[in-house]
Amino acid sequence: MIEDRTLRSLEFDKVRALLVDQASCSLGKALAAELAPSDDVGTVRRWQTETTEAREILRGRNEVPLGGLHDVRQYLRQAAVGSLLTPPDFLAVGDTIRASRRLKRFFADDHVVAPVLEELAAGLGTFDRLDAEIRRVITEQGEVADDASPELAKVRRTMRTVQDRIRDRLESIIHSPEFGKYLQDPIITMRGERYVVPIKQEYRGQFGGVIHDQSSSGATLFIEPMAVVELNNDLRQAELKERDEVIRILRALTAVLAGEAEAIGFSLDIMARLDFAFAKGKLSLAMEGTEPFLSATGRLEILHGRHPLLRGDVVPVDVPLGKAFDTMVITGPNTGGKTVTLKTIGLLTLMAQAGLHVPAKDGTELAVFTSIFCDIGDEQSIEQSLSTFSSHMTNIVTILGHVDGESLVLLDELGAGTDPTEGAALGMAILEHLHARGAKTAATTHYSELKAFAYTRPRVVNASVEFNVETLCPTYRLMVGLPGRSNAFEIAQRLGLEPDIISRAREFISREELRVEDLIVNMQTDKVMLEKEREDAKLLRERAAKLTRDLEMREAETRQKEREVLDRARQEASNIVGRVKREADEAMRQLKAAASAGDEKSRLQAIEAARTRLRELKGEVRDKTAGPAEPVREGGGPEGLRPGEMVHCFSLRQRGQVLAEPSDGRVQIQVGVIRTTVPLYDLARVEDEARAAERSNVGQMATAKAQAISNELDLRGHTVDEALDAVEKYLDDASLAGLKKVFIIHGKGTGALRQAVGSYLRTHPAVKGTRFGDQHEGGDGVTVAELGEE
């Protein structure tokens, strides 16, 4: 159970408000407003899956049909007890059941792959019969239709006839010269559901009829002429019949609705949950969130986590907790970001346990805690006359009474508000107790004693927020493994305090404390250098791995093409042999026929012709299968071959380029797309030295490019013009290097850079096709370009 006080301190209610804004209907907004974390791992994982599925559907630009959904639960309850519903009530019900049908069809579409949400949507009803009945009875204007029943149609025809007769009579009166002087205005109006005309007060005696009303000034009387009294009576009777028939029709429709009320209520709950799920998906997209890996062992590994309520350029933090250490003591200057770091840890954990994605990098791991405690900010209570220290202690006492090994504890300014020596001692004792109970703890402090405490305890670590002394500004970077410095002397010096005063102040600091401060400075410097070297090494490893994968892929493609070339050669040879054999058989048949010919001259001519054709076939086979005459070479092949030289391969009847120096009488060459090893005696240098040198230079350049160029180009931070210039040069180098696939990294941002790069790539002659990256390749923050001729 997570206390409301924790939710308030970590501002979880503001995250709820963001979620409410993303919901489409009042029912979804109500569920969003009730959002609360769970401590059940299975439940949280299902919630996270819902959010991920909704996010992927929205990313695919599918229009989710959530429109038309109304909260009709009150109408369902009225129908269930037999209370009469009005036509506008039925319009709202009709819109809602049609929304249910649209959602059910949406999730039945093959293009939607969301197992958890599909299982939820499977319970939606279609209510075709009820929808058809509502459409038949109720018009779009919210009235009962004339043809809702034969009796209603008949009554309304009668009403229209009577109304027309009344208007005709009254029109003749108000346009009559005889009665014109009596009228205040020549108009027909209604009072008390009866047609009347406005008559001047002074002519009331001259105009016969029933007075129904008068104006506020008393100058005008609204009189029903005697000529239309009976007609008005007929109209009133027809209206009463219409009312009774309408009530009968609405009661019948209400009864139909009552029979479906329970099923509609069930569908309404499902639609609310679906709206809630898509609100979570929209919020994930808005904050560029990711689904965290959920740990049941209390481990946290926040990667580039950002506080979801901060706006602008937020510096992300990396927070490991629960793996190498269970307690983290964060030190550093005021306004450096210590409290924000605590709130980021707590709020991201709450969001994850509530089924929300978190604004962090893929691979982030968060634990599911049974309880989360925090003491953040000034909790002083004037009504209770508590000091800041007393208020903090009261809260910490409550925490210590409930904490266990499945708790996360966040303490801000531990031990503050009292004597520094006693406050530091209390802080160490509290941390020691929490550590012994197995809780995962992060605490901020200014006390140097707590830095030493972290160094002398197993599974306790120092951390600090970085501060730039040159600019007198914090960088907001969390540095795990290093305690923070106050930087008071450096800041004072930068602000202009006299050097003599600073020197005198240093004399009041013990040598041990100065050595510790110097040690911290050296450690911070080493830490920054090591982090930079580690990041560079990581980039180099990633680049090497990508180059290795690319080379392996290219080698596989080369082997495949080599097999295809050899297969084509074998097929061509087989075709030649088959054709020659057929023609040779035909020549032999002609020889046999000539041998039996009666005419000696004709027989000799036929035999000679057959022999001539056989010689031609023999020569054709020799020409097709034999290469050019091998030149005289000493030593079994050309000597002193070097990489880059052009040679002629007799067995392949092609020119190629030497790739490596000969070894054991064999040499590796590149012939077109084929890379193969052949005997040295099968080669001869190309006689055209100038052309060979040219090809050698080109080959060496391509080889150098292939070795140096990466298959990635990072454009983040570039303007559009800078990016397009970089892409043009990179594609030239990539084509020369023989790369088949490149990754253009432009990020997501506003989409302007992505659109400009995509438009340019589609027009470049070296690009066969483009696509956005897969999830593991960077998603739509990366454009993958296939290179080569169409």
pLDDT tens figures, 202-248:
888 778 888 888 888 888 889 888 888 989 899 999 999 999 999 99
Band (790; pLDDT cuts 50, 70, 90): low
Over residues 365-403, the pLDDT tens digits come to: 999 999 999 998 654 443 444 566 777 888 899 999 999
Yes or no: say if 680 and 665 are a contact pair by the CB < 8 Å rule: yes
Rounded to two decimals, the pTM is 0.61
**What is the model's pLDDT at position 629?**
43
Joined tokens for residue 624: 């097709």
- 258 within 8 A of 82, measured Cβ to Cβ: yes
Residue 440 has pLDDT above 90, yes or no: yes
Return the DSSP state at 177: T
Structure tokens at 631: 């030149």
d(CA 389, CA 412): 12
pLDDT for residue 466 is more than 80 = no
User: 159 vs 739, which has greater pLDDT?
Assistant: 159
Minimum mean pLDDT range among 223-232, 245-254, 444-453: 444-453
Contact 51, 355 (CB under 8 A): yes
Does an H or E element contain 656, and which?
strand 654-658
User: Which residues pair with residue 367 across a beta bridge?
Assistant: 295
Q: Does 527 or 560 have the greater pLDDT score?
A: 560
Using the Cα atoms of residue 724, residue 730, residue 735 and residue 739 in order, give the sign of their dihedral.
Answer: negative
Question: Residue 29 in 3-state DSSP?
Answer: helix
How many separate helices (H) and strands (E) can be counted in the chain?
21, 23
The candidate with the shortest Cα–Cα distance to 193, out of 155, 170, 158, 163, is 163
Name the pLDDT band for 688 (thresholds 50, 70, 90): very low
* DSSP assignments along 502-567, one per residue: HHHHHHTS-HHHHHHHHHHHHHHHHHHHHHHHHHHHHHHHHHHHHHHHHHHHHHHHHHHHHHHHHH
How do strand 365-367 and strand 327-331 relate by DSSP bridges?
A: unpaired
Q: What's the pLDDT at 529?
A: 67
